[in-house]
């Protein structure tokens, strides 16, 4: 079990990072010129409301005391109130998590469904036209802007073919799924470009490894060698690659949610910026940063669980 010892100790290393995240989000809102109470409440706030906010955040006290108030409020699950939606930011965020989470999951699953077969073709037929095509596509794919890819998919599948809805989310499960296909595909196409490159490299190494040679020597067919021995090994580093790219993936959802008018966290943040709803911007940024740290931690645990040779 000592391989899993890091599960206990790693969270301690998070503390300075979490501290830093809280300082950055705190400072961001304080950097806005003007009276913080007015900024938090909007221009039409009543004097009583302003007095309440001053007391809650200790706005007349020194900066570091204000920071402690900020932490205390955070500890109580209090991220302030949205000036636009008039409800608590944490509750607002809770209502918007589902589309974003579903979008990330759809993106990752679809990306694997695209990347594994392409990487397989490329790795098993090295030097052929198919291999070169996959490599050029995966190099070019990294440069596909997601907002443009999303718009092109809408033009093709919604406008020309009329197969899928243009935008929005929907109420029933089926409705939601149909609304997630194109946004998910947009994320997946960009992501699969990154995954294909790494998977191909892993598969090429795997095909030449001793494991593969030993399996062939035992008389296994090339197909079984590849799918049972090479592919699973090539997939382990992919989990880490996904974790490294999670920040980039979340950035992608922010843009894609705006393209497809998906009511997720990213769209909430962008609208918050336009309506100067600073508490919402701060809350979403904080949520995304903490989620990134946690996801990297979980990815480490999964990697260790999957590959007995790895020690962290």
Partner 1 sequence: MLVAGVGILAAFVILAFMAPYAAPYDPIFQDGTARLMAPSPAHPFGTDNFGRDVLSRVVWGARIDLQMAVIGVVFPFLIGTVVGTLAGFFGGWVDVMFMRIIDVVLAFPFLVLMLSIISILGPGLSSFYIAMALVGWVSYARLIRAQILVLKTQDFAVAAASLGFSRTRIMFRHLLPNALAGSLVFVMSDAVLVLLSGASISYLGLGVQPPLAEWGVMVAEAQGFMTQAWWITLFPGLAIVVLAFGFSLTGDALADLMGVRE
Residues in contact with partner 1 by the rule CB under 8 A: 16-17, 20-21, 23-25, 28, 31-32, 139-140, 142-149, 151-152, 154-155, 159, 166, 246-252, 254-255, 258-259, 269-270, 272-274, 278, 281-282, 284-285, 288-289, 292-293
CB of 220 to partner 1, least distance (A): 32
Nearest to 93 by CA among 259, 101, 41: 101
As separate numbers, helices (DSSP H) first and strands (DSSP E) second, the chain gives 14, 0
CB of 25 to partner 1, least distance (A): 8
Contact 175, 102 (CB under 8 A): no
CB of 174 to partner 1, least distance (A): 25
CB of 178 to partner 1, least distance (A): 18
CB of 297 to partner 1, least distance (A): 12
Q: Which is nearer to partner 1, 189 or 212 (CB)?
A: 189
d(CA 126, CA 181): 32
Q: Which is nearer to partner 1, 153 or 225 (CB)?
A: 153
Nearest to 45 by CA among 36, 33, 55: 36
88 DSSP β-pair partners: 81
Q: Torsions phi, psi of 163, nearest 5?
A: -90, -35
Q: Which is nearer to partner 1, 58 or 247 (CB)?
A: 247
Q: Could you tell me the CA-to-CA distances from 22 to 29, 52, 115, 283, 290 in Å, in that order? A: 11, 23, 37, 10, 10
Q: Which is nearer to partner 1, 238 or 258 (CB)?
A: 258
- What's the gap between Cα 248 and its chain centre? 7
Q: Which is nearer to partner 1, 130 or 293 (CB)?
A: 293
Q: Which is nearer to partner 1, 231 or 282 (CB)?
A: 282
3-state SS record for 5-19? CHHHHHHHHHHHHHH
Q: Which is nearer to partner 1, 148 or 227 (CB)?
A: 148
Q: Is 219 helix (H, G, I), strand (E, B) or coil?
A: coil
Task: Return the residue matching tokens 């470009």.
Answer: 193
d(CA 115, CA 135): 12
CB of 22 to partner 1, least distance (A): 10
Q: Which residues contact 117 (CB under 8 A, 6 or more apart)?
A: none
Q: Which residues contact 222 (CB under 8 A, 6 or more apart)?
A: 216
Q: Which is nearer to partner 1, 187 or 212 (CB)?
A: 187
CB of 170 to partner 1, least distance (A): 20
d(CA 37, CA 49): 9
CB of 284 to partner 1, least distance (A): 7
């Amino acid at each position: 079990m000592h391989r899993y010892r890091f599960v206990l100790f790693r969270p301690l290393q998070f503390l300075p990072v979490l501290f830093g995240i809280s300082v950055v989000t705190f400072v961001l809102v304080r950097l806005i010129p003007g009276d913080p109470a007015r900024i938090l409440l909007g221009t039409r706030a009543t004097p009583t409301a302003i007095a309440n906010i001053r007391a809650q955040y200790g706005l007349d006290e020194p900066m570091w005391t204000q920071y402690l108030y900020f932490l205390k409020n955070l500890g109580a699950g209090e991220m302030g109130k949205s000036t636009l939606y008039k409800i608590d930011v944490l509750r607002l965020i809770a209502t918007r998590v589902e589309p974003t989470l579903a979008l990330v999951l759809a993106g990752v699953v679809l990306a694997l469904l695209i990347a594994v077969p392409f990487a397989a073709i490329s790795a098993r037929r090295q030097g052929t036209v198919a291999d070169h095509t996959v490599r050029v596509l995966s190099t070019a794919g990294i440069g596909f802007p997601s907002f443009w890819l999303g718009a092109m998919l809408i033009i093709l599948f919604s406008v020309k073919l009329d197969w899928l809805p243009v935008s929005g989310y929907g109420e029933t499960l089926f409705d939601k799924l149909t609304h997630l296909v194109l946004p998910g595909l947009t994320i997946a196409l960009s992501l699969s470009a990154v995954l294909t490159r790494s998977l191909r490299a892993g598969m090429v190494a795997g095909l030449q490894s001793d494991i593969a040679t030993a399996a062939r020597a035992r008389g296994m067919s090339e197909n079984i060698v590849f799918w049972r021995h090479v592919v699973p090994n090539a997939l382990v580093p992919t989990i880490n690659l996904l974790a490294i790219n999670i920040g980039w993936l979340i950035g992608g959802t922010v843009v894609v949610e705006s393209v497809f008018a998906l009511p997720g966290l990213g769209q909430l943040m962008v609208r918050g910026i336009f309506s100067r709803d600073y508490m919402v911007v701060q809350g979403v940024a904080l949520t995304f940063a903490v989620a990134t740290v946690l996801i990297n931690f979980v990815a480490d645990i999964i990697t260790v669980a999957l590959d007995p040779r790895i020690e962290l």
